[in-house]
Structure 1
């Protein structure tokens, strides 16, 4: 459902031919981020994952509601330092270059997450004084961590052991704990909390045994709080998650890094219908723009939820099941497949919801060289 301020802006943009457009509801974002902040208070620090949406207006809006920002590249770090020079930052990401490791010397970088023994060795060779977490990819029980175990991220026990050996001769590098981001896109808060307990049950004894100098351990649990694109009115249960984490807080300083689950709900990709057609028994609505602007449904393999804003009063009307596609010369340019529409006409607007994260910044903008969308940040009625 499109909030009224976004609907009104979409209609005005259509009237002046300024579509496609991304429209963000900043009051809605503040309300949601504030609710997450209140829910997590006392259980875990909240660092926003900049990769989800690095727009300057989004970062500035979130700043009062988060403890800091998680960055995964030198570019993201430079952006946050420019926009919010006093904001705490943790620096993650595989494949850090020497130049990026040098950027980690910025005093605003509270923790650097070490991905491998090789990365740690390069860090030690700089002679820098840094605070780090070791990114772990332990072989924990449960199918919910298989995607992490089959990924290149972090270290298994052998890699961690190699880091311990390196740290013995590296007094300028101070380890503080473990970073373990082991799942993505989980909607179930109790299941996410259970994963956090399994991580803690492994990580805290490991730290006591291998890095006993870490007397005040930190656990960064990453993100992964899911957004259900098939049920856009539902949200992750932050209160339940926080309550379940509370019993871990006495033994470790906890941090989480949500991205999508903070910003997805308050962004819309708005466009208009260029054509309606029937071919080989299927109905299609061809939209201006497409997945070169909003790649999310292709990247994640889902149908993007949408709302039709009816404007056209004449011409053929499409009612029934239709597939919503864009302008690209590829059959993969599909935003929603086999959707139910009622009286959809050329000239009507389509507002795709849950487009506030991993949307424009994830997309292949220059394919076919269509015009880029405009961007609008609605801050009031």
Structure 2
């Protein structure tokens, strides 16, 4: 845990009378992490940040000097990147792109569009010609394989709404060669077959499989390929499982003959979760501790409307207890010791649960729970306005200080 986290919580706690509920993002930690990632990458590779993991503009701005660009999956995300930089390369992916999204992608000079279907390809050809705008594309391919690593979420190698099935390759290339296409140019392929893979060696094997496929297609169809986008899917552990070993991954890539033989072809990676997950903290004060049928529940100010990831993934989210001493009531402060506690939120649903049967040494009403690894897919996938509870506060660590940012106003605190 960042050494500032507890200090920030104590200082903010002293300034408030209402129960504490906040996100804290360690921008310095994110920057250092990405610098270390890029440092070990082979020269043929480039790092993009998939902002779906966390599209906070301050995170995008912090990453701007260190990544090749950003991957977006909607016009909303595209606008957030362009609000930060008018020129940084953008990759635009995702199924179901509408005409206005494709036109906006052209207007905002998207680097590559990941084409997800034959219909999308035909629409883009029509719109690009109409606007007299030349566009570079990567075909997102759903390849048939039994060699993909096994993870909780897989998007390829099976029936999927993502990408173009491998057997439709010839039809896609035929569309690109039609006389009507004068403005859309194939530059490579995009693959994103899984999410949250923990095994570095298997990830390299999967990339080798991608490279072999592309080599087969190049030879079969006489293609010139500038880019192979191998997607993301690098795992983050929310329990005792060993996290993805990035240094091992990049060292195996550097030793790979297939990667060394890429020549001028660039290999892209677009992780999201792996870049930001470990550098966000969701902080929530314990409002009540209650027993029900021999089970102990800790009710927090907050819940899955702020941090939906544990409910979405069905996992127990890791947290630490920070004891705080304020207690303004004339009656005894509820407390449990050496107990199992299920952490739940303030919503009127039994699914509002962040951790089941957590072992705690001591926990009191008024103490704060710090949910670690809350930098990715926590706030942004949550149903923020369900039941109308107030949003959390947001704090950012940068240059030895921390800042509060709410409703686009920023107040600086001494760190």
> Given the two structures, how large is their TM-score scaled by the length of structure 1?
0.95
Contact 1:227–1:260 at 8 Å: present in 2 too? yes
Superposition RMSD on alpha carbons, in Å? 1.7
1:327-366 paired onto structure 2 within 5 Å:
327-366=346-385
- Higher mean C-alpha deviation, range 10-19 or range 184-193: 10-19
Moved more, 261-270 or 2-11: 2-11
Match of 2:315 in 1: 302
- Whether the aligned pair in 2 keeps the contact of 1:48 and 1:68 (CA below 8 Å) is yes
The alpha-carbon deviation at position 312 of structure 1 amounts to 3.4
Query: What pairs up with 1:7-46 in 2 under 5 angstroms?
Result: 7-15=6-14, 16=16, 17=18, 19-46=20-47
2:334 maps to which of 311, 316, 331: 316
- Deviating more after overlay: 34-43 vs 110-119: 34-43
> 1:137-187 CA deviation, whole Å, 9 max, x = no partner?
010122537642232100112332221110112232110111010111101
Partner of 2:275: 262
Decide which of 122, 132, 144 is 1:139's aligned counterpart.
144
Kept in 2, the 8 Å contact 1:18–1:374? The answer is no
Name the count of aligned residue pairs.
377
Cα distance in 2 for partners of 1:151, 1:337 equals 32
C-alpha contact 2:37 2:246 (8 A) present in aligned 1: yes
**Residue 54 (structure 1) shift:** 0.5
Deviation, structure 1 residue 70: 0.3
Q: Deviations over 1:307-332 (max 9, x none)?
A: 11001376232121110000011111
Partner of 2:229: 220
Counterpart of 2:240 in structure 1 is 231
Q: Distance in 2 between matches of 1:217 and 1:89?
A: 16
Distance 1:117 1:150 in 2: 16
Gaps of 5+ in 2: 327-331, 401-414
CA apart distance, 1:18: 6.5
Q: CA deviation at 1:107?
A: 5.7
Contact conserved, 2:52 with 2:72, CA < 8 A, in 1? Answer: yes
Between 1 and 2, higher relative CO (CA 8 Å, sep ≥ 6) is seen in: 1
Contact 1:312 1:345 (C-alpha < 8 Å) held by counterparts: no
**Deviations along 1:219-277, whole A, 9 cap, x unmatched?**
10101001000138x54211211122233332242001000000010100001000111
State the match for 2:82 in structure 1. 81
How far apart are the structure 2 equivalents of 1:182 and 1:371?
37
Match of 2:296, SS? strand
User: Is 2:216 aligned against 1:205?
Assistant: yes
Q: What does residue range 80-119 of structure 1 map to in structure 2 within 5 Å?
A: 80-106=81-107, 108-119=109-120
Mark the runs of 5 or more structure 1 residues left unpaired by the alignment.
Answer: none
Q: Which moved more, 1:103-112 or 1:3-12?
A: 103-112
CA distance in 1: counterparts of 2:382 and 2:292, whole angstroms:
28
Cα offset for 1:81?
Answer: 0.9
Spell out, residue by residue over 1:173-202, the C-alpha distance to the aligned partner (whole angstroms, 9 max, x if none): 110111010111101111111111111111
Q: 2:241 matched to 1:241?
A: no
Give the secondary-structure state (helix, strand or coil) at the position aligned to 1:64: coil
SS in structure 2 at match of 1:90? strand
Provide the rounded CA distance (Å) in 2 between the counterparts of 1:63 and 1:231: 32
| Aligned mates of 1:266, 1:18 — CA distance in 2 | 23
Q: Which residue of the partner structure matches residue 161 of structure 1?
A: 170
- Superposition TM-score, scaled by structure 2 size: 0.87
Structure-1 separation of matches of 2:43 and 2:375: 27
Distance 1:143 1:218 in 2: 21
Question: CA 1:200–1:213 in structure 2 vs 1: closer, same or farther (change >3 Å)?
Answer: closer
